[in-house]
Amino acid sequence: MAIKEVQTTCCYCGSGCQLLFTADTAANKILDVRPTWGRTNDDKACLKGWYGWDFLNDPQILTRRLRQPLIRRGGKGTPLAPASWDEAVAFVADNLKKIKDRWGPDSIMGAASARGPGNEPNYLMQKFMRACVGTNNIDHCARICHAASVAGSRQTIGEGAMSLSIPEIEDAEVIFNIGYNAAASHPIVARRIVKAKEKGAYLMCADPRVTETSRISALHLQLKGGTNLALTNSMAHVIIAEGLEDKRFIQEHTKDFEAFKAIVEEYPPERAAAITGLAPNDIRLAARRYAGSRHSVILWGMGVTQFSQGVEVVKSLCSLALLTGNFGRPSTGTGPVRGQNNVQGTCDMGVLPDVFPGYQSVADPEARAKFAKAWGVESLPAGPGLHLTRVPEKVVHEKDPAKRIHAYWIFGEDPAQSDPDLAELRETLAEIDFVVCQDIFMNKTSRQADAILPATAWGEHEGVYTSSDRGFQRIRKVVEPVGDVKDDWEIICLVSTAMGYPMKYAGAEEIWNEMIDLCPKFAGATYEKIERQGSVQWPCWDKGPQDRGTMYLHKDGHFATPDGFGLFRTAHYHPPVEVENADYPLTLCTVREVGHYSARTMTGNCRTLRNLEDEPGWVQISPEDCQTLGVDDGELVSVVSRRGRVITRCKKTERVKKGAVYMTYQWWVGACNELTISSLDPTSRTPEYKYCAAKVEKIDDQQWAWQEVARLYSQLRDDMGIQQIGKAVNQ
């Protein structure tokens, strides 16, 4: 037995925990994993860190690992068949070239991956789309989670990332968690929040549900869903009305205070109470507590961003911090805590329709000229590309073929599980002329692909992730990949070269070096420095050892806006797009579950995590609504919206208020996104996953319902090819 130890970064959330693997290299097997010291995690990990690597063993519980390229040689409607890499690359390149020649570069859409691949392939994917295809139609799943944080923060304070670091949270004096339950989404961040409480911090929480976070908070603002902006405007109102604002900070470091004040003046606590359902004095207390400390921190998650006013709420939260001077020192500031492991990094790499890597605008002629020269092309497109949430609009709702999306390369994501209104999404995929999926697993989207390109997984390749607090950290190969698979960056290079734009690299580090040379704020973050320090937080301007990176942003009140001033911004509240009525009397909100992740292809294929919970998931319903509906805990029910119907189990719980139901989003049979609405924030184009009208129906024939769940689950697994290869699924 030949044993090696490899340290790498967890692949599941933006906390960026460090894990130490022990592997038997002769048998190519992982023997053990344990957390080890890292900047963000000390030496701790959550259950996904401990048990979430089993998918590397391909236990084929939910779906199966891809081991060879698959193509539909005969076109749509013909079966997926194994192909050599040469044939698959030529097939993809020929089809993309034909579509580009006929319909133009903007007829092709690319979606890259905030999950396993790492920063380097994401850099190459946006380079491929911009330099080879000639379009800015490149995006990723930040669009459906924290794009509102990026847009809202950049418009107010100039940077879209967390202003503070995860370890600083434990020394905050006041922590305002809004739309964020760290215990479910980032357990290691939750640990810092608990430590802050132990050190005497005042915790307050705005969330419509009773959560682990609300339970440890001194103040729980259990507001009605979709009313965040009324609350934050009213908090600003109280702060100004009671003279609690930091007048000197406002004077010296901000602009547009008067316009902001004019809006929030219209939100006295009594008016906000009527909108939010909160007690006016609780709003006053929250405002006084927040303004009463120079070390107040705001942390938020998708309970802020996944609304049609998500960007406005982010701007309002940043403005609260400006109002009270809570920026530019340790343990203060704003924290949009990014969900997936590398969603911060994928934004950093310019996998967004409007910026190159390092947040350099595609509209800036100097930036375009710099990247064009480095990439060896005459010019690069200047107009912003398409947001991935608008792909259905550009397929099923676009009548002019010249303006449609005709090809979609989806790399490491599963929109047929994770996007809203899945019936519309399936129709979209069916109508697109050519769909490419590059992934590690068969998934719901790849069922509709014309070509499937199998990639190495986290644990099988080298690279860099960015943690939620801007920390570049290494990921490393633990085991050798099995089958005829390739690293993501290599696949992109092969297709690009076959399309006439040669890309060739020796490995991930060479790609990284090209990227940092083009991005001033990442320029000092060499592999060598990341290795030596363990983590380098951007901005890191200089390669020399004296620049160790940046722990917190906006030092001394100097913001990353063009003139260095923080800009006050907010807007008037309006209700969500689709509100409850007589036919759909409940509101549906989607939430996270700690043991499962994203589209579940990874955690659903880990035996220990699978054993925690399984299909068809749950819908959380209040005891009062259960009584009205005549349903009880554990009973199968139908949840119905204007867009679809799914079967799931009733979870009777006092954690939720009457009139609102909640579903976790990773289930394949109890798929909440069959029900969600595709209404978008007008700026970030993030869907309003957190609010649509729904109803719950009792199912009298429970035996039929369980058989139906089993049939649907079996059919999905058939589609993934589980039975075809004859492996046991219930290990």
DSSP, residue by residue, 175-196 = EEEES--HHHH-HHHHHHHHHH
Q: Give how far the C-alpha of residue 506 lies from the chain's centroid of Cα atoms, to the nearest Å.
A: 30
The CA–CA distances, whole Å, from 100 to 109, 240, 383, 497 equal 11, 55, 17, 15
In the complex, the smallest distance separating the C-beta of residue 623 from ligand SF4, rounded to whole angstroms, is 32
Torsion of the alpha carbons at 652, 657, 660 and 663, rounded to the nearest 10: -50
Does 48 engage in binding with ligand SF4 (CB under 6 A)? yes
In the complex, the smallest distance separating the C-beta of residue 247 from ligand SF4, rounded to whole angstroms, is 40
Measure the CA–CA gap between 144 and 418, rounded to whole angstroms.
8
In the complex, the smallest distance separating the C-beta of residue 113 from ligand SF4, rounded to whole angstroms, is 17
Does 186 engage in binding with ligand SF4 (CB under 6 A)? yes
Of the pair 48, 643, the CB lying nearest ligand SF4 is at 48
In the complex, the smallest distance separating the C-beta of residue 433 from ligand SF4, rounded to whole angstroms, is 38
Torsion of the alpha carbons at 111, 116, 120 and 126, rounded to the nearest 10: 0
Q: Which two structure tokens, joined as six digits, stand for 78?
A: 């013909």
On whether the CB atoms of residues 438 and 115 are closer than 8 A, the answer is no
Does 46 engage in binding with ligand SF4 (CB under 6 A)? yes
Does 17 engage in binding with ligand SF4 (CB under 6 A)? yes
Does 640 engage in binding with ligand SF4 (CB under 6 A)? no
Does 45 engage in binding with ligand SF4 (CB under 6 A)? yes
Whose tokens are 């911060």? That residue is: 344
In the complex, the smallest distance separating the C-beta of residue 630 from ligand SF4, rounded to whole angstroms, is 39
Of the pair 41, 214, the CB lying nearest ligand SF4 is at 41
On whether the CB atoms of residues 31 and 579 are closer than 8 A, the answer is no
Of the pair 12, 356, the CB lying nearest ligand SF4 is at 12
Rg (CA), the chain: 25
Does 187 engage in binding with ligand SF4 (CB under 6 A)? yes
Does 13 engage in binding with ligand SF4 (CB under 6 A)? yes
Name the amino acid, one letter, at 710.
A
Residue count of the chain: 731
Does 471 engage in binding with ligand SF4 (CB under 6 A)? no
On whether the CB atoms of residues 555 and 327 are closer than 8 A, the answer is no
Q: Which two structure tokens, joined as six digits, stand for 41?
A: 């995690």
Does 10 engage in binding with ligand SF4 (CB under 6 A)? yes
In the complex, the smallest distance separating the C-beta of residue 468 from ligand SF4, rounded to whole angstroms, is 9
Of 148-156, 185-193, 255-263, 651-659, which part binds ligand SF4 (CB under 6 A)?
Answer: 185-193
| SS3 assignment, position 293 | coil
Q: Is 505 left (phi over 0), alpha (psi -120 to 50) or beta?
A: beta
| SS3 assignment, position 174 | strand
Of 44-52, 329-337, 658-666, 697-705, which part binds ligand SF4 (CB under 6 A)?
Answer: 44-52
Of the pair 191, 717, the CB lying nearest ligand SF4 is at 191
In the complex, the smallest distance separating the C-beta of residue 552 from ligand SF4, rounded to whole angstroms, is 21
Of 39-47, 385-393, 402-410, 700-708, which part binds ligand SF4 (CB under 6 A)?
Answer: 39-47
Of the pair 407, 536, the CB lying nearest ligand SF4 is at 536
With CB atoms as reference, the residue minimizing the distance to ligand SF4 is 49
On whether the CB atoms of residues 672 and 646 are closer than 8 A, the answer is yes
Of 131-139, 182-190, 418-426, 676-684, which part binds ligand SF4 (CB under 6 A)?
Answer: 182-190
Closest CA to 602 of 54, 21, 30: 54
Does 12 engage in binding with ligand SF4 (CB under 6 A)? yes
Per rule CB under 6 A, count of chain residues that contact ligand SF4: 14
Q: Which two structure tokens, joined as six digits, stand for 89?
A: 């690359």
Q: Which residues 6+ apart lie within 8 Å of 109 measured at CB?
A: 137, 138, 139, 386, 388, 391, 394, 405, 407, 408, 409
Does 15 engage in binding with ligand SF4 (CB under 6 A)? yes
The CA–CA distances, whole Å, from 79 to 433, 450, 722 equal 16, 9, 16
| SS3 assignment, position 162 | coil
Measure the CA–CA gap between 366 and 381, rounded to whole angstroms.
13
Of the pair 16, 358, the CB lying nearest ligand SF4 is at 16
Of 5-13, 53-61, 149-157, 439-447, which part binds ligand SF4 (CB under 6 A)?
Answer: 5-13
Of the pair 49, 539, the CB lying nearest ligand SF4 is at 49
Of the pair 127, 186, the CB lying nearest ligand SF4 is at 186
| SS3 assignment, position 9 | strand
Of the pair 20, 577, the CB lying nearest ligand SF4 is at 20
Of the pair 48, 529, the CB lying nearest ligand SF4 is at 48
Of the pair 465, 568, the CB lying nearest ligand SF4 is at 465
In the complex, the smallest distance separating the C-beta of residue 175 from ligand SF4, rounded to whole angstroms, is 18
Does 49 engage in binding with ligand SF4 (CB under 6 A)? yes
Strand ranges (DSSP E) for 660-725? 660-664, 692-698
Of the pair 25, 608, the CB lying nearest ligand SF4 is at 608
Residues at the contact surface with ligand SF4, assessed by CB under 6 A: 10, 12-13, 15-17, 41, 45-46, 48-49, 186-188
